[in-house]
Structure 1
Amino acid sequence: MPGPPPDGEPVPSDGSLPDSALRDVGRRGFGVYVHVPFCASRCGYCDFNTYTASELGGGASREGYADAVLAELRLAATVTGARVDTVFVGGGTPTLLDPGDLGRILEGIDKTWGLAGDAEITTEANPESVDPRSLRALRGAGYTRISLGMQSAAPAVLAILDRKHTAGRAPQAAIEAREAGFDHVNLDLIYGTPGERPEDFAASLDAVIEAGVDHVSAYSLIVEDGTRMAAKMRRGELPYPEDDVAADRYLAAEAALGGTGFSWYEVSNWATSPQARCRHNLLYWTGGDWWGLGPGAHSHVGGVRWWNVKHPTAYAKRVAEGVSPGLGREILTDADRHVEDVMLRVRLSDGLPTAALDAAGLAGAARALADGLLEPDAYAGGRIVLTLRGRLLADAVIRDLLP
């Protein structure tokens, strides 16, 4: 189940922001994230803010969800305005909503702030939740990019993860999305699942390559407290993930994807061209602004971060009353923003300017360079860029660059 929300100061009932936060809205890009909290079933490793029908109880439904989001949009319109460069609809399983409702949400965003002519508009989807008809409807509604949760091509691994789709469904859905006219298609993989063999992950990599997608995300399994998988591991029913195995899987991903036209642009993300990179995620990673709609959604505008109430019923009640669904917020200090900038930009292939580091950070960078964790040519040109070995040890490098 979802964990508790973070601490923070109260959000004003009208959602208003300090003038200082509104001064340069959109200067680094402006995006909209829409959280859809519904799932047909809960995966054993998931601790996202999502709910199955049995977990929801009364007062919230898929059928009325688009109207609740549109009500929050009306409130947001009174707080700030900026042209929208990217939209990302995530979850949960957004495609449990009718394509018409996802289209209405997109129309509402356009009417509220205006979509840029070249806006990237993404929806996540589980492979079993889409078909050629729904994919054509989504593309017709204006969605340009789809991200499909494949996780693995091995039936045994899917079973351990509690995924409901068959092993071949995700690559087939990716092909159907291309045929429906989506500009960009991503497949998500998870590696390091207990019981996953090297040949299982190799088969997964082969499958995403053969599907003809232009973007792949691959993440090491993280076991979160409170999940069914964590409980099984505590009881000894499943072994814990191993760091060495995760490193081997990452190297296998880099070899397979790098050998077939993909290039890494963030530690866990590969694309076939700069145009195929996820612009919405890049907005997060480079300090842009975004408004998060929906229960539990987080937002960031001008150094102010806030988060909505988590439960869909509480969310729907607040927006119906014209009250901000924001539960808490924090105003980031310059030091906070520096830490986040280093943490996120070091993970990018474009790297971090060395000028962004203080004396202690530069000393840490020199150590990382000597240890073979940074690219020498980039460093000589004034940028911190991780080598392949550096990507494996990215968290350690980042810690050494920060106070």
Structure 2
Amino acid sequence: MPVTAARAELPEMQSPARGPFGIYVHVPFCATRCGYCDFNTYTAGELGGANPEGWLAAVRTELQLAAGRLGTAPDVETVFIGGGTPSLLGSTGLAAVLDAVRDSFTLAPGAEVTTESNPESTSAEFFADLRGAGFTRISLGMQSTAPHVLAALDRVHSPGRALAAAREARAAGFDHVNLDLIYGTPGETDDDLIRTASEAVETGVDHISGYALIVEDGTALARRVRRGEIPAPDDDVHARRYELLDRRLADAGFDWYEVSNWSRPGGECRHNVGYWNGGHWWGAGPGAHSFVGATRWWNVKHPNAYAQALDAGELPVAEYEELDAETSHVEDVMLRIRLRTGLPQRLLADSERERADRAVADGLLRARDDRLVLTDRGRLLADAVVRDLLS
């Protein structure tokens, strides 16, 4: 089991010698809180005086400390700015974040640079400015084009705004644009999802993510379900909607490359593929998670506590854990089995290979060369497949 310590001082670590290295930057600001969201985000009234300018200064300091801590830092293959709502920083603010990364690290030739954006805080000019600043990929939170589904999710953008934003990003020269969808919202119909997927495809984007709605503890959605105002999402409905989404995207030339992600050829999100393939990354920002070598850690959550630690010249680490061989193995299996490239069989112990053979016989996995790949049915039961392999 991993050893966990609640203290701010990380153990000594070495710069990763192999695999992709990425930088994640967490933007904690949101204009409003969506009812289903449990991310580390804050609206204006929850910030306690924190602001984007102070946050950016703290992020810049963390990145400088990170580069020093890693010694000979590897070139950065991917940068991902997530949130929260990064687009609230505007194109100037996001360009400043990327400059802060460049000031402390070297971007590899052809590096992928992504920012998440909410449609209501973007414009054609915003995307043009980001393209000029060196961003290569845009990820937009669309969720649905059905007004009643957006209302149930407390999304504030109009049904057509996400579609327009995707087209604006494409027109600005972004070859790689993602739309995030959520399926299984109470009140959604099969037709709502098919229409949403079709309209997303018609924008010309090269990547679509689809996530089943999960009711997270502590959210407004969870409180509504608990009070009986809306029904809890249904697993059978989720399975049917996933199959509908997969079929519609396949018909449009998208292939799944991870259980919840589809792309046209060459449109995969390299940053996320790095996570799933055991890559290393430094996460900067309040609540951001990092993984380098065998050490995983996460920052303090509130922007004020985050900035205070950095003002004192300390990394803002809340806790860390050292992954032992058993934990690393479990995570390798859990993450790589979700990829279309599959799980290398050499990673499995003899007993796990026997269980994998049973999963093949049950139609949940198929053997392809030296790898195990989820079947269509296996994708619907991916978590159960992992549990069975590791049990």
Structure 1 segments of 4+ aligned residues over 2 angstroms from their partners: 10-13
Give the whole-Å Cα distance in 1 for the aligned partners of 2:280 and 2:268: 18
CA deviation digits over 1:25-63, x for unaligned, max 9?
1511100000000000000000000000011122x1023
The residue aligned with 1:182 is 174
Structure 2, unaligned runs of 5 or more: none
Q: Secondary structure at the match of 2:69?
A: coil
Q: Please, what is the CA RMSD of the aligned residues?
A: 1.4
The residue aligned with 1:157 is 149
Shift of 1:268: 0.3
Matched ranges for 1:229-308 at <5 A: 229-273=221-265, 275-308=266-299
Give the whole-Å Cα distance in 1 for the aligned partners of 2:247 and 2:17: 37
CA deviation digits over 1:115-135, x for unaligned, max 9?
011000000001101001111
Distance 1:248 1:232, change over 3 A: same
Q: Secondary structure at the match of 2:46?
A: helix
2:383 aligned with 1:387 = no
The residue aligned with 1:323 is 314
- Residue 192 of structure 1 aligns to which amino acid in structure 2? G
The residue aligned with 2:210 is 218
Aligned 8 A contact 1:188 1:218 in 2: yes
Aligned 8 A contact 2:3 2:323 in 1: no
Matched ranges for 1:132-171 at <5 A: 132-171=124-163
The residue aligned with 2:323 is 332
Distance 1:134 1:219, change over 3 A: same
Aligned 8 A contact 1:353 1:382 in 2: yes
Aligned residue pairs, count: 388
2:57 aligned with 1:67 = yes
2:199 aligned with 1:207 = yes
Give the whole-Å Cα distance in 2 for the aligned partners of 1:26 and 1:194: 47
Which of 18, 29, 33 aligns to 2:24? It is 33
Give the whole-Å Cα distance in 1 for the aligned partners of 2:193 and 2:8: 48
2:9 aligned with 1:9 = no
Give the whole-Å Cα distance in 2 for the aligned partners of 1:7 and 1:356: 23
Structure 1, unaligned runs of 5 or more: 1-5
Give the whole-Å Cα distance in 1 for the aligned partners of 2:179 and 2:377: 24
Normalised TM-score (structure 2): 0.97
Q: Secondary structure at the match of 2:129?
A: helix
Q: Secondary structure at the match of 1:355?
A: helix
The residue aligned with 2:78 is 86
- Residue 350 of structure 1 aligns to which amino acid in structure 2? T
Normalised TM-score (structure 1): 0.94
Give the whole-Å Cα distance in 2 for the aligned partners of 1:303 and 1:11: 17
Give the whole-Å Cα distance in 2 for the aligned partners of 1:255 and 1:164: 29
Which of 101, 109, 119 aligns to 2:111? It is 119
Q: Give the % identical residues.
A: 57
